[in-house]
Amino acid sequence: MSEPTTVYPVGRADIGKRLDRFLHEKIPRLSRNRIQEMIRARVLLSWDARVRPATVLVPGGVVKIDYVPLPETLLEQAIPVLTRGDGWLAVDKPAGIPVHPVNTVRENSVIRMLRRQEGNEELRLAHRLDRETSGVLLVADNRSTARTLSLAFENRQVHKEYIAVVRGVVRDREGTIELPVGKAADSRVYTRQAAVKGCPSETGWKVEARGAAATMLRLFPRTGRRHQIRVHLEAIGHPVLGDLLYGRPDRDYLDLVAGERDPRKEEGGPLRQLLHCARVAFESDSFALNCVSPLPASFHHWLVRESGQENSK
């Protein structure tokens, strides 16, 4: 199914604006990050200028968002359905697949794979998981349910539990991380967040198991900031194993995005971040769900192996 081409003329009031600000005003439902990704992949300008987020608009110009067909071989991979309810389903998202179309991945995003699998073009994401995060993902099959679930997440009415294997030994049995999350101003990676001045954020945690050099934690995010768990764990000195964005220099992530190298291969460590959404629950007067995803066996493997590698150094 093709996507329409959209054209936005540059009005008098728009002259001098940055391209990303202009498009965010035209499409407010998209985050600034999504806008910038779209600019790099799909935006054309009627004047001679490099297409980038900071490009300044010119009088009489036209900004066009074009459909760009991408050469994608469809993945022959089923998305496991954990359970179904009235107007929704919970799936077990695999690690490594983005939940929605992004950059060069469109048809092989979880939502489009599910639409083909279920034969239902009305399926909508109720929330998001990072590309390398696995586990429970809620999907609505109609607008009304999508609105109900989205509002529940926004209003912090949904109980979420994650499992992570983190670097180092966490000594306490349980605790709470209360640190604001905001943009990492000194990072070359636009999407990177940090425990700096920003939105108040809270993550509860307790130890599930300890190795000699790694710890398995169960985490309870009580707010829903972008990359919150990963930022909080980095901030306390225990980043998620396999995470290329947090607890590492920018270069590691940028090299991966550029297709130059994956430092995790050189290190012999996990080739994904060991973060898993283990449980999602929500209950209201007219709605109830309690969805659980089994922990990937690799988490226990890396808890023990990381400890063994550390001991051998």
Q: What is the pLDDT of residues 279-306, one digit of tens each?
A: 999 998 888 999 999 999 999 999 998 7
Tokens of 133: 């995060």
Catalytic residue among 14, 20, 92, 130: 130
The domains located in the chain, with CATH, are 6-65 (3.10.290.10), 72-155 (3.30.2350.10), 157-313 (3.30.2350.10)
How high is the pLDDT of residue 311?
45
Structure tokens at 39: 């600019």
Please give the model's pTM, rounded to 2 decimal places.
Answer: 0.78
What pLDDT sits at residue 100?
Answer: 87
SS3 85: strand
What is the C-alpha separation between 11 and 265, in angstroms, rounded? 50
pLDDT digits (tens, 9 = 90+) for 78-123: 999 999 999 999 999 999 999 988 767 888 999 999 999 999 999 9
- Which backbone phi and psi does 19 adopt, to 5 degrees? -60, -40
| pLDDT recorded at residue 196 | 92
Closest CA to 51 of 62, 40, 63: 40
Residue 305: its pLDDT value, please?
A: 84
What DSSP character marks residue 197? E
- Using only C-alpha atoms, the chain has a radius of gyration, in whole angstroms, of 21
* pLDDT (average), residues 209-220: 97
Tell me how far CA of residue 166 lies from CA of 171, 196, 214, in angstroms: 12, 21, 6
Is 48 one of the annotated active-site residues of the chain?
Answer: no
Distance, in Å, from the CA atom of 9 to the CA atom of 60, rounded to the nearest integer, reads 7
Q: Are 295 and 163 in contact (CB under 8 A)?
A: yes
Q: Are 139 and 111 in contact (CB under 8 A)?
A: yes
Tokens of 270: 């996990």
